[in-house]
Chains A and B, each alone.
Chain A
Amino acid sequence: MTRRTNLLKSLDWWTILLYALLVFLGWVNIYAAVYNEGHQSIFDISQRYGKQLLWIGAAGFIAIIILIIESKFFSAFAYPTYLFMLLLLISVLIFGRDVKGARSWFEFGAIRFQPAEFAKFATCLAISRYVTQYNFKIHKIKSLFISSLILFTPMALIVLQGDAGSALVYSVFLLVLYREGLSGIVLFLGFLAALLFIFTLLWSKLTILLLILSVSLIAAKLSGLKWKNFGLGILIMGAFSSLIWITGKILNLHFSSYFIVIVSMVLCIIPFLFFTYKQKLRNVAWIILISFCSLFYSFSVGYIFSNVLEQHQRTRINELLGIESDPYGAGYNVAQSKIAIGSGGFTGKGFLNGTQTKFKFVPEQSTDFIFCTVGEEWGFVGATVVLLLLLTLILRLLILAERQRSSFSRVYGYGVACILFFHLAVNVGMTLGLAPVIGIPLPFFSYGGSSLWSFTILLFIFLRLDANRLELLR
């Protein structure tokens, strides 16, 4: 009995309150999104809001069960849970049901459930467990390899299911690892890669080449390279270029100018790297290496884009970047979503008065595009409040994570916060036309049992761990 009161006392009620508020607001908006005059009872389980009430009830039940379980259990059973989820992910590939081109659902009669949603908390537990093992060193190759393996295995299985959106969620663990000591350069490189990817699609090869060259030259100069050496470099490169050009002429080969520039740069970089190494200009060597890699990456992006990605993914990215525009075809969802949100104005059209959502102009409005209903019916005020509530919850989780004595709990807490953030960023970004259309739910808002339960489990395991924050888990 004392234990129970202890637990109730040590729970973070602010988080629970935010959670309850968000789930309630989510339900209200689902009601508005699927509302029609024929079914007005909120308990009508033939309608989505009726069903969502059932899911919410079940989520409460799940939360209570999690809170009853000993917190040691979660670290002890992290790996078995993880392995069990991997098993589910594999079996869904075999026994699952195709829904909209993705084989990611189990179906038991009327009940469907999506293992990818539950793989999130399992992976989060496993990575927390591994990172806090005594022999884990963040920059050891072996440690990096195993933690990558823990992340990439579920990711690959989910990609195989045809649900690339859910797989992308795992990339957010980069932030968690960053907190645990991963070099900031990795984050920076990740950021650079994303930026370069977009630039490559938007701009011509020549522009990219000039951009990379000028950025790296400035960086090299700042790192202490002398003007004299610049001149030397350019001289050497010019020599190589003309050599290749003359060779091409003699052998009657038609080299493109890109080819000449790139090959001469490669040839030029080798002696230069050697030179900088000798001169102890390590930074300059790094800059040369990074810019060379970016160049290579940038030129291979085109290949990746047209050969690795699927057509619908390509068009979604092109739509987002404004390269293609087809507001009645591929861009329909986002165009309608922006119209719905944009028409909301400052205070919105009012509960149940959103014409764009009520008359179904916005697709998937109770699941992926639920934020449209918020934007249209509650306007700028409502949408901002919802965003701030979610942000507050996530920031609260970060604060809670930092107060853990046990690093397992801290890493897990960061995992939860980062996963919620990724969903928020991609989902809302998509409805606002700032992110490509990736079908992942808005936490606590989107309709669906699997996602609600998955976020509930994710959150409440952390709350359970937090209740024992003064204990050291091993």
Chain B
Amino acid sequence: MNNFSNRIYVIAGIFILVVLVFIIRLLNLQIIDESYKLSAENNSQRQVTQFPARGLIYDRNGKLLVYNQAAYDLMIIPRQVKQFDTIDLCNLLGIDKKDALKQIAKAKKYSYRKASIFLKQLSSERYAVLQEKLYKFPGFFVQPRTLRKYPRQSAAHALGYLREVNNKEMKNDSYYSQGDYIGKSGIERTYEKELRGEKGVEIFWVDVYNRIKGSYKDGKFDKPPVSGKNLYSTLDIGLQEYGELLMSNKKGGIVAIEPNSGEILAKISSPAYDPEMFVGRAMNQNYKRLVQNDSLKPLFDRSMMALYPPGSVFKLINALIGLQEKVITPATRFECHNGYHVGNFTMKCHSHASPLDLIHSIQLSCNAYYANVFRSILEYPKYGSVQNGFKVWRKHVLSFGFGNKLGADLPNELNGFIPTTDYYKKKYRRENWRALNVISLAIGQGELLITPLQMANMVATIANRGYYYIPHIAKYFGDGELIDAKFMKRKQTSIDSVYYKPVIDGMEEVISGGEGSTGRLAAIPGIRVCGKTGTVENPHGDDHSVFVAFAPRENPKIAIVVYVENGVWGARYGAPIAGLMIEKYLRGEISQSKKWLEKRMIEADLIHKKKE
């Protein structure tokens, strides 16, 4: 009966073997392989990013320009998503099932483990309802964000806007993760680091339904967020709004600078847009509309990016260089008979008294005078050649900040263009081109390209009699921290300050010199305004109207440039608008005697008139 009793050893052997295999497996899983411990941590911890409040932006008088409002992004971590009632979720959010599935697919494509946005910017009301039911949707959670809010619909270009970071930005700076916002233009971009603050993180235990089960190790590894700094800008929002009003229905730009500090008081690009358009879910739609479907290109910041030849305004520079190089004195006179004639060459001029001295050449904006001055500089025997003369001339020009970025604290600044001898060598295919070849530089035409910001800086420099501060738009931060020291450093031009007086005399005559003065419409009773008109030749239509001015003459408080595209002459739109702006800034209001002019400027429509 018991002849098989030895078989107990076989059976017991099998049993023991299996248990031994299990113990070896346990040894491997629990002690040798460390990866399971990590996986367990990943499973049960959730790092919740704590977003700091973005810094607020104020104007120079402490008026609020940008603040924050709360919004809620619904985030998804595909790995943690379980079967859920799609219809229920869609109803809660008020979206299509199709869109929901598309979002899930997109999130999976981005990453299974990292959170991506499922639905952006829920309203507080929807958020309140959703929060109650969120436990039904594992893998979803809500991330609070702050959106920008603008109490005034003004200064959109200067303030800039925020957009979601793109892949490249995330790659360049590991600070950002998907769904974060980053300043894309204006102040928001330049001062992104200061405004954004530092994200914090809170670590929680979560269960399989992604419900928070308590703080991880009592918050030992949490990091509180650091709020962004508030920023006080140099803008005077009253002046900014007034400028935008004056520029309504016109294309162009205005830049106003406080000469003794380089602070930008107003920076207008027209047509403008409402900064609110770039907030919230409608943003992408609005962006497309403004970029693709608006022929006026409202996003294009004309105050910084429009490159115009400076026109007659540039005569001021040539006058200063002429004086510095001693090819003229204030008393030097040149003849003008409706233009400048050399052999076959003619540069036209309007009819005025002749000959003129320096002051009156500015007042009447005589082309022939500056053709003579410019030629005298280039052909000055001391330099040996026209090319060497040109180099001297160019060096003076560059010292005003032309031809290169000024280095303002605003993105998208452009260099502009001041031609070089090499440029002309290529253009004329010879080394020794002549002064007459480039004579249009004398009156600010030709190859010169200058941005309105550079032009405003030039006026500020003249107002300062020879130096400038790099124009800037940030004044200081809320915590008292100052902006970059480079903005406090005086930049000297290569023109001695004594030579500014006659030029400024001429500029004052432009406004209040009586008969023939080109800028009379900029005059303000009781304030000594100095200015200069300009007309930029425009091959595509009506010429552009340019006007530069500063006031008061002594101890100037404001330097301004006004460009009005298709404004024909500097006198027609540029001068009145500049005058009104200066008066608004210095006095706070427009005097009765100029109300008619203000009304005419506001009502002038250079955009829609043309279309008819």
CB-CB contacts of A176-198 with B at 8 A, as 1s and 0s?
Answer: 00111100100000000000000
CB-CB contacts of B26-58 with A at 8 A, as 1s and 0s?
Answer: 110111010111011101100000000000000
User: Which residues A409-444 have CB closer than 8 A to chain B?
Assistant: 414, 417-418, 421, 424-425, 428-429, 432, 434
Q: Is B245 an interface residue (CB 8 A)?
A: no
User: Which residues B1-19 have CB closer than 8 A to chain A?
Assistant: 1, 3-5, 7-8, 10-12, 14-16, 18-19
List, sorted by A's number, 22 A–B pairs whose CB atoms are closer than 8 Å. Answer: A178-B11, A181-B4, A339-B36, A343-B37, A345-B37, A355-B44, A356-B43, A356-B44, A361-B43, A361-B44, A380-B26, A384-B26, A387-B19, A391-B15, A391-B16, A395-B15, A398-B8, A398-B12, A407-B1, A424-B18, A432-B25, A432-B26
Question: B43 near A339 (CB under 8 angstroms)?
Answer: yes
Q: Is B431 an interface residue (CB 8 A)?
A: no
Q: Is B100 an interface residue (CB 8 A)?
A: no
Q: Which residue of B lies closest to A390 (CB)?
A: B19
| Known contacts A344-B30, A345-B30; A360 and B11 CB within 8 A of each other | no
**Stretch from B205-213, B262-270, B504-512, B514-522 forming part of the interface with A:** B205-213
Q: Which residues of A contact B3 (CB under 8 A)?
A: 181
**Whole-angstrom CA separation of A351 from B10 in the bound complex:** 38
Pick the residue among A339, A360, A388 that contacts B19 (CB under 8 A).
A388
Q: Which residues of A contact B206 (CB under 8 A)?
A: 359
Q: Is A154 an interface residue (CB 8 A)?
A: no
Q: Which residues of A contact B10 (CB under 8 A)?
A: 178, 184
Question: B79 near A328 (CB under 8 angstroms)?
Answer: yes
Pick the residue among B15, B27, B44 that contacts A380 (CB under 8 A).
B27
Q: Which residue of B lies closest to A414 (CB)?
A: B11
**Whole-angstrom CA separation of A342 from B34 in the bound complex:** 8
**Whole-angstrom CA separation of A338 from B37 in the bound complex:** 10
Question: B207 near A360 (CB under 8 angstroms)?
Answer: yes
Q: Which residues of B contact A375 (CB under 8 A)?
A: 26, 29-30
**Whole-angstrom CA separation of A328 from B113 in the bound complex:** 12
Q: Which residues of A contact B22 (CB under 8 A)?
A: 387, 428-429, 432, 434
User: Which residues A324-372 have CB closer than 8 A to chain B?
Assistant: 328, 336, 338-346, 355-356, 358-361
Q: Is A383 an interface residue (CB 8 A)?
A: yes
Question: B30 near A346 (CB under 8 angstroms)?
Answer: yes
| B459 CB, nearest partner CB in chain A, Å | 66
User: Which residues A379-415 have CB closer than 8 A to chain B?
Assistant: 379-380, 383-384, 387-388, 390-391, 394-395, 398-399, 402, 407, 414
| A455 CB, nearest partner CB in chain B, Å | 17
* Interface of chain B, main secondary structure: helix
Pick the residue among A184, A344, A359, A395 that contacts B213 (CB under 8 A).
A359
- Residues of B near any A CB (own CB < 8 A): 1, 3-5, 7-8, 10-12, 14-16, 18-19, 21-23, 25-27, 29-31, 33, 35-37, 39-41, 43-44, 79, 112, 205-209, 213
Pick the residue among B21, B31, B213 that contacts A346 (CB under 8 A).
B31
**Whole-angstrom CA separation of A381 from B39 in the bound complex:** 21
Pick the residue among A184, A358, A379, A424 that contacts B30 (CB under 8 A).
A379
Question: A359 near B44 (CB under 8 angstroms)?
Answer: yes
Q: Is A225 an interface residue (CB 8 A)?
A: no
Q: Which residue of A lies closest to B213 (CB)?
A: A359
Q: Which residues of B contact A159 (CB under 8 A)?
A: none
CB-CB contacts of A6-42 with B at 8 A, as 1s and 0s?
Answer: 0000000000000000000000000000000000000
Q: Is A175 an interface residue (CB 8 A)?
A: yes
Q: Which residue of A lies closest to B45 (CB)?
A: A355
**Whole-angstrom CA separation of A346 from B33 in the bound complex:** 12
**Whole-angstrom CA separation of A388 from B15 in the bound complex:** 11
Q: Which residue of B lies closest to A425 (CB)?
A: B18
**Whole-angstrom CA separation of A275 from B556 in the bound complex:** 123
| A423 CB, nearest partner CB in chain B, Å | 12
| B446 CB, nearest partner CB in chain A, Å | 68
Question: A342 near B40 (CB under 8 angstroms)?
Answer: yes
Question: B26 near A394 (CB under 8 angstroms)?
Answer: no
**Whole-angstrom CA separation of A402 from B18 in the bound complex:** 21
| B28 CB, nearest partner CB in chain A, Å | 9
Q: Which residues of A contact B29 (CB under 8 A)?
A: 338, 341-342, 375, 432
Question: A384 near B23 (CB under 8 angstroms)?
Answer: yes
Q: Which residues of B contact A399 (CB under 8 A)?
A: 8
**Whole-angstrom CA separation of A380 from B22 in the bound complex:** 11
Other than A341-B26, A359-B205, A421-B18, give 10 A-B pairs with Cβ distance below 8 A. Answer: A179-B8, A328-B112, A342-B36, A356-B40, A361-B208, A391-B19, A398-B11, A428-B22, A429-B18, A434-B22
Q: Which residues of B contact A345 (CB under 8 A)?
A: 30-31, 37
Q: Which residue of A lies closest to B25 (CB)?
A: A432
- 3 smallest CB-CB distances across A and B, nearest first, come from A342-B36, A343-B40, A359-B207
Q: Which residues of B contact A424 (CB under 8 A)?
A: 18-19
Question: A342 near B33 (CB under 8 angstroms)?
Answer: yes
Question: B15 near A342 (CB under 8 angstroms)?
Answer: no
Question: A342 near B44 (CB under 8 angstroms)?
Answer: no
Q: Which residue of A lies closest to B18 (CB)?
A: A425
Q: Which residues of B contact A398 (CB under 8 A)?
A: 8, 11-12, 15
Question: A340 near B40 (CB under 8 angstroms)?
Answer: yes
Q: Which residue of A lies closest to B43 (CB)?
A: A361
Q: Which residues of B contact A180 (CB under 8 A)?
A: 4
**Whole-angstrom CA separation of A425 from B16 in the bound complex:** 11
B36, B41, B44, B205: most-surrounded residue (chain A CB, <10 A)? B36
Q: Which residues of B contact A341 (CB under 8 A)?
A: 26, 29-30, 36
Q: Which residue of B lies closest to A336 (CB)?
A: B43
| B65 CB, nearest partner CB in chain A, Å | 47
Q: Which residue of A lies closest to B5 (CB)?
A: A402
| Known contacts A342-B36, A391-B16; A383 and B30 CB within 8 A of each other | yes
